[in-house]
Amino acid sequence: MENEKQKKVNYDEILKESLEFGSKFQGKGTTMKFLEIKDEKELDKWALALIDDKGTIYQAGDTEHRFSMQSVSKVLTFLILLENKSLDEITQTIDIKPTALPYNSIVDLELGKRKPRNPMVSIGAIATIALLYEIYKENTFEVILNHLKNITGNSKLYYSEEILVPEMAGAYSNISGIHLMIQAGTLSKDTKIKEVIEIYYKCCTIMVNTIELAQFSHLLSNDGYHIVKKKQLYTPENVQILRSVMAHSGMYNHSGEFAASVGLPAKSGVGGGVLACTKCKLGIAAFSPRLDEAGNSIVAVKSLEYLSKKLNLSIY
């Protein structure tokens, strides 16, 4: 019955309406300094993409425009970790609890808590990379990038050296955080700090477009099944765990507000991208570079809010 309803939906029209609604908030917010957006026209780009249950792609706006994944990459790295370790093993190092603190905070560690709150905050994602490095060693980043290439079908995906350099230059807080985790015994004293930090930032600077994020979302909305490859790429149980973490922690300390207004498991990045999962096998992603105080794209979130309500997508 659900599929019959979806066939009758004019996704092109709804995406256009959603972007028009989101565009009312265009011009509000700021961008991260390290992104060094030189052309003012870049600030006015926005995009929305949806992939239906048959794999058909619908799009509106600047969907071919590339931007850095930033924290959206944490979804991928945690998924790969779940495929390699049990949740019980992972939670010895990383909790899966919500946080009211900013995404880049290490206050919990400074106050003596030995584990990051969840894998969706910066220090939690760094711990994820540290655990992956124990498995894949110097091949860790290549493994991560290859996963994304396989999901999107784009063998030419790359990271941006131009964005990587200034991000690495300002990594003091994250470097402090990894030292605190080693000191607390959360991470091994043999942890390769330099390598782990570099891999973390390389993941953040992988350049994608909105359609590729929607392809990733589609995979997650289908419990790890890739509709184009007709293959189960990831364990359904692991994808379900991942979506639950996204639901309570994916939008930083605005995750509660997002749950109330949009009602979807999602992950944002300060590059302006937002990936959102659905219960009806739709893949959805949005992009716009200007951010609110929590680091979420204002136009993207508002567009998703309209889209979710129009299609009755909320999981709650």
- Point out which residues pair with 284 in neighbouring strands: 50, 276
Choose the CATH number for 2-69+206-310 among 3.40.50.1860, 3.40.50.300, 3.40.710.10, 1.10.10.10: 3.40.710.10
Question: Minimum mean pLDDT among 19-28, 145-154, 197-206: which range?
Answer: 19-28
Strand 266-268, strand 225-226: pairing: unpaired
Helix (H, G, I), strand (E, B) or coil at 28: coil
> What would the two tokens of residue 70 be?
């930033």
Helix (H, G, I), strand (E, B) or coil at 207: strand
Question: Which DSSP string do the residues of 252-275 spell out, in sequence order?
Answer: GGGHHHHHHHT-S-EEE-TTSEEE
pLDDT in the model for residue 29: 79
> What would the two tokens of residue 312 be?
């009755």
Residues 197, 128 contacting (CB under 8 angstroms): no
276-300 pLDDT, tens digit per residue, is 999 999 999 999 999 999 889 999 9
* CATH topology match: 2-69+206-310 vs 73-204: yes
pLDDT in the model for residue 6: 47
Closest to 297 in 3D by CA, of 46, 16, 11: 46
pLDDT in the model for residue 1: 39
Helices (H) and strands (E) in the chain, counts: 14, 9
Average pLDDT, the chain: 93
pLDDT in the model for residue 246: 97
156: Cβ–Cβ under 8 A, 6 or more apart, which residues?
none
Residue given tokens 């490095």 in the structure block: 133
For helices 172-183 and 122-136, the axis angle rounded to 10 degrees is: 60
pLDDT in the model for residue 28: 83
pLDDT in the model for residue 84: 99
Residues 113, 95 contacting (CB under 8 angstroms): no
Instruction: Check residue 297 and report its DSSP letter.
Output: B
For the domain bounded by 73-204, which CATH number is listed? Answer: 3.40.710.10
* C-alpha span between 141 and 152 (Å, rounded): 17
Question: Minimum mean pLDDT among 22-31, 68-77, 117-126, 162-171: which range?
Answer: 22-31
pLDDT in the model for residue 112: 66
Domain boundaries in the chain?
2-69+206-310, 73-204
160-191 pLDDT, tens digit per residue, is 999 999 999 989 999 999 999 999 999 999 99
CA angle 243, 246, 252 (to 5 degrees): 180
88-145 pLDDT, tens digit per residue, is 999 999 999 888 777 777 887 777 688 999 999 999 999 999 999 999 999 999 999 9
> What would the two tokens of residue 71 be?
């924290």
2-18 pLDDT, tens digit per residue, is 454 445 899 999 999 99
* C-alpha span between 270 and 32 (Å, rounded): 7
pLDDT in the model for residue 2: 46
Give the percent of the chain with pLDDT over 90. 82
